[in-house]
Amino acid sequence: MVIDAGLAKKSVEKIATAMDLKVMDAAEGIYNIVNENMFGALRLVSVEQGHDPRDFALIAFGGAGPLHANALGKLTGSWPVIIPPGPGVLCAYGDATTRVRNEASRSFIRTFPQTSDKEVSKILKELAEKSAKELDAEGVSRKDQTTTYEIDVRYHGQGLVLTIESDAKKFVKGGLKSVAKEFDKMHEQMYTFALDHDQELVNLRAIQQGKPTKVRAERVGKASGEPKEAIIQTTTVFVDGRDRKAKIYDRSLLKSGHSIPGPAIVTEMDSTTLILPDHVGKVDSFGNILITPSKSAKKSSSLSKSSKKKAQKKKAPKRKSAKKKTAKRKVAKKVVKKKAVKKKVAKRKTATKKSKSRKR
């Protein structure tokens, strides 16, 4: 399907006119709002789960995902941003290669002191057998099946639950004691505290999976530098409030070792990737594009950090001098008070002397 740029512009013009903005400014505003909404979704699965997104890489998929991926990398601080080959069909690829899976669960609301390892282990085994029979019917042999357990736990009287993963060997070895320990650790990681309350079981779950599908990723040819042979044309992209020249690359011609400086656009059959200014996309041996901040961007950010530190250091002595001034003022006040007291004492002495002389 061919995109009609004219119709897209007309649609944005309605918003731009209503908000008294230029068309391109309105379009960039829409793009930024979408990025912020996507960032909010990423926070739900990272920060709000007790994880720092800067400790992870970001993988883009879908037809439009790679258009927003670089911007989301900037918002989350997750580097590199990985654009796999065929991002538009990544979900279909996963569906075709995923393991056959079945699960069985049961509600089991008991505090840990109210039950035992033996009782819980018995229920988990029953659930595993039930799930295994379902896979038997799918034609998956028992030797190719693996079992894992999931136990939903909360503190007694609490509403939210956390899921603890285990397996038959692990549960037999550690039992509910190890589950409680892992739950406290996870709760502290997510909410910064653990309570000295009884833990409570909510749901028990057994998951049966078939043998993993062996799929080998194909390696791409080697090269180096900027892929000039992959350049289709030069265009302009509107970034940070102004037009910038950008090259459009054909992804099918990219090889391992190629480096694409931003701003740039990488096109393929199922998706389009946007590499922003001050960022670079490097192709690895499997054809993934790894987007990271460029060296110049890293230097500028480190310089800005160092300049901030220097500015803070310069401000620090002023604070000290202010403290000294207040200290001097306090000392001066004390001296004035002492002088005033001495004057009062002197007046009293003279007054007593006068009264004595009158009596005489």
39 and 181 in a single domain? The answer is no
84 and 224 in a single domain? The answer is yes
233 and 311 in a single domain? The answer is no
Q: Is residue 359 part of a domain?
A: no
**pLDDT tens digits, 201-218:** 999 999 999 998 888 888
In this structure, what are the phi and psi dihedrals at residue 248, rounded to the nearest 5 degrees?
A: -105, 125
User: Is the bond preceding residue 263 a cis peptide, omega within 30 degrees?
Assistant: yes
Q: Is residue 265 part of a domain?
A: yes
In this structure, what are the phi and psi dihedrals at residue 226, rounded to the nearest 5 degrees?
A: -80, 135
Measuring CA to CA, which residue among 153, 142, 163, 172 is closest to residue 49?
163
Is the entire prediction scored with pTM above 0.85? no
**pLDDT tens digits, 151-177:** 999 999 998 999 999 988 888 888 999
66 and 138 in a single domain? The answer is no
Give pairs for 136-144: CB < 8 Å, separation 24+.
138/100, 138/102, 138/210, 140/100, 140/210, 140/211, 144/210, 144/211
22/242 Cα distance (integer angstroms): 11
User: Is the bond preceding residue 80 a cis peptide, omega within 30 degrees?
Assistant: yes
Which pLDDT value is given to residue 70? Answer: 98
Angle at CA 204, nearest 5°, toward 199 and 206? 140
15 and 47 in a single domain? The answer is yes
Q: Is residue 356 part of a domain?
A: no
88 and 104 in a single domain? The answer is no
Q: Is residue 75 part of a domain?
A: yes
Q: Confidence class of residue 360 from pLDDT cuts 50, 70 and 90?
A: very low
288 and 299 in a single domain? The answer is no
Which pLDDT value is given to residue 47? Answer: 92
Q: Is residue 358 part of a domain?
A: no
Token code pair at residue 123: 């229920």
166 and 108 in a single domain? The answer is yes
286 and 301 in a single domain? The answer is no
CATH number of the domain that residue 161 is part of: 3.30.1490
What letter does residue 269 receive in the DSSP assignment?
A: S
Per-residue pLDDT for 350 more than 70? Answer: no
360/356 Cα distance (integer angstroms): 6
Q: Is residue 21 part of a domain?
A: yes
Give pairs for 37-45: CB < 8 Å, separation 24+.
38/68, 38/72, 39/72, 39/75, 39/76, 42/72, 42/75, 42/76
89 and 223 in a single domain? The answer is yes
The distance of Cα 163 from the centroid of its chain, to the nearest Å, equals: 20
Q: In sequence order, what are the residues at sequence separation of 6 or more whose Cβ sits closer than 8 angstroms to the Cβ of residue 174?
A: 181
**pLDDT tens digits, 42-82:** 999 999 888 999 999 999 999 999 999 999 999 999 999 99
Q: Is residue 113 part of a domain?
A: yes
200/176 Cα distance (integer angstroms): 10
| Strand 222-225 versus strand 289-293 pairing type | unpaired
Domain that holds residue 345: 295-350
113 and 194 in a single domain? The answer is yes
User: Do the beta carbons of residue 224 and residue 205 sit within 8 Å?
Assistant: no
259 and 198 in a single domain? The answer is no
Q: Is residue 111 part of a domain?
A: yes
DSSP for 287-352, please give it. S-EEEEE-HHHHHHHHHHHHHHHHHHHHHHHHHHHHHHHHHHHHHHHHHHHHHHHHHHHHHHHHHH
288-325 residues labelled b (16+ CB within 10 A) or e (exposed): bbebbbbeebeeeeeeeeeeeeeeeeeeeeeeeeeeee
Task: Say how many domains are in the chain.
Answer: 3
What letter does residue 158 receive in the DSSP assignment?
A: -
Q: Confidence class of residue 30 from pLDDT cuts 50, 70 and 90?
A: very high
Per-residue pLDDT for 180 more than 90? Answer: yes
Measuring CA to CA, which residue among 86, 58, 79, 69 is closest to residue 34?
69
* Structural domain ending residue among the three candidates 149, 176, 209: 209
